[in-house]
Structure 1
Amino acid sequence: MDKLNLRHLHYFWVIAREGSIARAAESLELTPQTLSGQLATFESALGNALFRRANRSLQLTDFGQTVFRYADDMFQTAQALADVLRQPPENRPLGLSVGIAASIHKLIAYRLTEPALALPREVRLSCHTGDTEVLLKRLGQRELDVVLTDRQPGSGDVGQVRSYRLANSSMSLFAAPELADRLSANFPQSLDHQPFLATSLDAPYTSALMNWFASQNIRVNVVAEVDDSALIKVFGREGVGYFAAPTVIRDEVCRQYEVVHIARIDEVRDTLYAVTRARGGYNAAVAELLRERPELDESIDKTE
């Protein structure tokens, strides 16, 4: 940073974009001599040539191309920021960067974020999936505005974050029509040793579901472990096995993946939370995402 003069870097960036010192000088409202001197000073500070002359034009050296890539990112971002700041505050887009735990069903993740996109102001949404612990770390580093997860933050995060319960649903079982017909009769004993599609992610409802199978004396025949909730449903649609999904998205699962609802298991629950930083506040897009969603919550108690 001692050698990086941002004004000189900007001059270099304009010269590279314009292709000549004369055109860049006109754009910057400087004399060519002044701009040429500023470029020479910058190259001297960096200790490397940024341009070479070829057929009366300037071409970037390999070093110059590297510097230009970084400068282009910087000044394009700065220009975008300037465009936003020129707008009245009430018209500026709201940023919403959401971390989504990989174990959350994608249909529910969409329904949780959908209200924020319906705000009168433009919302620029970015979604990032991953492990909850990694996402919470990124939240603390202010890379994310909110994290959607299926587990409460650990004790080490107390005081750093605040959690809100957004959804609470029983789990249901689904399968392709032919398999569902077989499994619906004499349920739940019909599940014994039948092909089951399990999530390989550490979803809290998974252990509860396995305990429920054991309580019903059902031998679970796991034919595939998949770490993507959408891919599990595709396997289910093709008749590979039956799978579990939250009851609150039953109709969407059946319609989108052409499967049949087998049964609802009230003893197995899937609870989802939104986690924000404890301090620093949040914008209207995050506030809308935190709003209670009764259509996704089968319970009334929201004391957590």
Structure 2
Amino acid sequence: MADQTLTLTLLIAAWMAFYVAAKRLRLEERGWDVQPFYALYKSTRLNKLIGRIGGWRPSAWRVLGNVGVAASVGQASFITFILARNLWSFVFKPEQASPVQPLIPGVTISVGSLPWFLLAAGVVILTHELGHGLMCVVEGIPVKSAAVMFAVVTFGGAVEPDEEGMEGASTMSKMRVFAIGSMINLLTGLLIIPVFIVLGGALPTQLLIFLNWLYFISINLAMMNMLPIGPLDGGQMWRAFTAGLKGGRTLQMAATYGFVALILMNLGLSLVTFGWVPI
């Protein structure tokens, strides 16, 4: 643990040095947005790269988007069933309940596995956002900005579609854009399973820890992100679907508050029953 603590300390120190240097060198004039806890590098070259990838076999990307829209129903239904059944177990059969908890470094995530968690999280976020950008290109929705994100000890990406272009897109186009990120996460998680089966025993320990986190984050994000909660992609899909319905706004708010309550009840009862459970 001492080695990991030292590594994290050095990373934080290096980040502080980078932050100070970035401000002195005025990197914001070169496409950087450097904040105390993260930095974004925006470049038109990133937009062009996304455009080239999205322009390659757009029909195939659209098929994947359609699969993502269909799969989103199953993903949201599955995680809803899991959370509802777990809540029922907490109330009526506590011995059958499972812990539900946030991922908190040093509390539920051990310091030893934290670097691998952060690396896996960076890969998941980067591919998730790349998927959104690619589908925007396929659907003819301009990408206002694309950026690579660096945080203190991890990385990721961010894609910002043009708001007017998104609002003017068809409902199905919006659904594909919002669904594709979680679809890529789901595929990532599923593809890791045969790696475990075939090579699990022969993999180095550190690589195995990384792949475990990559699987865990990919699958959980793919499921949770499809819940119809306002800011999540599932919430955006629900908003697009109900926008033209009478009482659509009410349906959107009901879904958000209802599912947030379901999650909070699971979290609260889990904390009371199990306390913090390290992963």
Query: TM class by shorter-chain length?
Result: under 0.3
Larger Cα Rg: Structure 1 or Structure 2? Answer: 1
Structure (1/2) with the larger helix percentage: 2
Q: Which has the higher contact order (CA 8 A, sep 6+)?
A: 2
Higher strand share: 1
- TM-score normalized with structure 2 length: 0.20
